[in-house]
Amino acid sequence: MYSNFITSPDFVENNLHTILLIDPSENEVTDSALICKNVGTDFNVYIYLEKDKDYEWLEKAFNLSDAVIINTTSNELSKVKDQMVGHPKSQYYGPKNFFDNNRRSTPMEYLINYVRESSTKSYLDM
């Protein structure tokens, strides 16, 4: 069992459930890695930080992802993040609220809920 944590300029090609974390804190990345290590489900986790400034990579990672988790903390990347929040696969957390998207979730909540829902679906498929 393994999960991939991927940053610019890299990409991976496999069939793992893929999420993109936009602007997570170092602690959120560490906590996400611990969850991935212990839940028995493998993930591709793309990580994009404000300092990366590689919008082409961000767009490709966004398109490859099954879910996008956005930290709404205000910074230089805020305009881009605010636009991405409106997409149906986007969830967000942090200080901002968006009337057209009520899907709030931290990276850790998303991972735990995904594993919980996947195991429920697997159980029902039996």
What pLDDT is stored for residue 39 in this prediction? 87
What is the chain's pLDDT, residue by residue, as a tens digit (126 residues)?
Answer: 689 999 999 999 999 999 999 999 999 999 999 999 988 889 999 999 999 999 999 999 999 999 999 999 999 999 999 999 999 999 999 988 887 778 899 999 999 999 998 876 544 444
The answer to whether 84 and 59 are in contact (CB under 8 A) is no
Total-model pTM: 0.91
**Residue 48 Cα distances to 61, 115, 120, angstroms:** 9, 23, 30
Given this model, what pLDDT does residue 101 score?
A: 77
pLDDT at 123: 43
Is residue 69 helix, strand or coil?
strand
What is the residue extent of each domain of the chain?
A: 4-125
CA separation (Å) from 100 to 9, 56, 58, 68, 124?
32, 26, 22, 16, 32
**What is the strand order of the sheet 67-71 is part of?**
4-6, 43-48, 17-22, 67-71, 90-93
Q: Top-level CATH class of 4-125?
A: alpha beta
Query: CA angle, 99 as apex, 60 and 74 as ends, to 5°?
Result: 60
pLDDT score of 111: 95
Given this model, what pLDDT does residue 24 score? 98
Q: Which residues contact 68 (CB under 8 A, 6 or more apart)?
A: 19, 20, 22, 62, 84, 87, 89, 90, 91
- Which pLDDT value is given to residue 97? 82
